[in-house]
Amino acid sequence: MKRGCALTKQEVVKAILASRPVVSSGAGRAFAPANIALCKYWGKRDEELNLPMTSSLSVSLDGLGTTTEICLRGDVDRLYLHDRELAPDSEFARRTSSYLDLFRPESSAGFEVRTRGDIPVAAGLASSASGFAALILALDQLFGWALDGVSLSILARLGSGSACRSVFDGFVEWHAGTRTDGMDSHAEPLNVHWPEFRIALLTLSDREKPVGSRPAMRQTKRTSTLYTAWPVQAAADLRDIRAAISDQDFERLGRVSESNALAMHATMLGARPPVLYWLPETVETLQRIWALRGAGAAIYATMDAGPNVKLLFEAKHEAAVRDEFPEARVVTPFERAEEA
């Protein structure tokens, strides 16, 4: 892919950190929430910088995500996930070390990184988003950069596109941007508080996905005839979802979010060969949700790149969700803001 005069990741980092210190404070520790996209991000206009074809909008899962601790130690990286040291050649370790290469004060410096998360890795539950967001927030603390939200969002995007949204809480819009250097492609929180808003997570499988999101996006964009309609659809859905959030019109938000998720998965089915993340349990769950809605409960579904289903609803329908899906994990995205 020709990238014209676009910057490399290293050049983006250099531009953002040009006047920042490189002295370690000893250690950094940070938490970042997972996020669920209501208007999806699927497909890139630049793979090096993780620049999306379209803008997207998500809601963060308050208190559910990734906590990362980091310090400089030795001359090789040592990475721990849930207190278990990872082999350097594991996918998780390779992606993390490659990202850390962008921030080493000298090429021989090693990092010790300890990560804990509340969500399965690579199962379509946005673990990479919260993981890379927590990592850049911990690095900001380690090195004392004191970066603003826009800069942190851009740097998180270099690790995983949707990580740029996990830098913030609540409803968050990721502006796709138009610049080749990506400096206008970052997330921004919406100043909206919706205490009745609920999300339920149904983990139908915690196995690693058979096809990662990155190759699946590439394959879909390159081979699916349905993908040509996706940017227009996503732009219209984003406008509708943004308006629904502003008006706190839940049924409009749910209807458009569910349609947007199904349209994204349809583009994958149109790829050659097709990409199908769904399991029989996924289809069964959707049918149960539609039956509840037919009975009068405004409950909607959304799915990221995986088999797992998220339910969108308001507090008044929480009892119906818990009765039908007792195994679901119910999240109140605006709980902390409400308590404050």
Q: What is the pLDDT of residues 71-101, one digit of tens each?
A: 999 999 999 999 999 999 999 999 999 999 9
pLDDT in tens, 161-188: 999 999 999 999 999 999 999 999 999 9
pLDDT for the residue 208: 83
* Percent above pLDDT 70 for the chain: 95
Question: 3-state DSSP call for residue 202?
Answer: strand
Closest by Cα among 119, 115, 122, 118 to 137 = 115
274 pLDDT band, cuts 50/70/90, is: very high
pLDDT for the residue 4: 54
pLDDT for the residue 182: 97
Q: Are 35 and 147 in contact (CB under 8 A)?
A: no
Q: Per the structure block, which two tokens stand in for 154?
A: 């851009």
Please determine, for residue 2, whether its predicted confidence score (pLDDT) is greater than 70.
no
pLDDT for the residue 336: 66
* Percent above pLDDT 90 for the chain: 86
pLDDT for the residue 121: 54
SS (H, E, C) 55-74: CEEEEEEEEEEEEEEEEECC
pLDDT for the residue 6: 77
Closest by Cα among 297, 311, 16, 298 to 155 = 16
Tokens 């329908």 map to which residue? 317
pLDDT for the residue 23: 75
Q: Which domains does the chain have, with CATH numbers?
A: 9-189 (3.30.230.10), 197-339 (3.30.70.890)
- Number of C-beta neighbours around residue 238 at 10 A: 22
Tokens 């609540």 map to which residue? 170
Q: Per the structure block, which two tokens stand in for 329?
A: 């994990």
pLDDT in tens, 281-302: 999 999 999 999 999 999 999 9
Listed range (18-27, 54-63, 204-213) with the worst mean pLDDT: 18-27
Please determine, for residue 127, whether its predicted confidence score (pLDDT) is greater than 80.
no
- Mean per-residue pLDDT for 218-241? 97
Listed range (3-7, 157-161, 209-213) with the worst mean pLDDT: 3-7
What does each C-alpha distance from 161 to 123, 153, 167, 175 come to in angstroms? 16, 10, 12, 11
Please determine, for residue 335, whether its predicted confidence score (pLDDT) is greater than 90.
no
Strand partners, 39: 57
123 pLDDT band, cuts 50/70/90, is: very low
d(CA 69, CA 52): 29
- Mean per-residue pLDDT for 137-159? 97
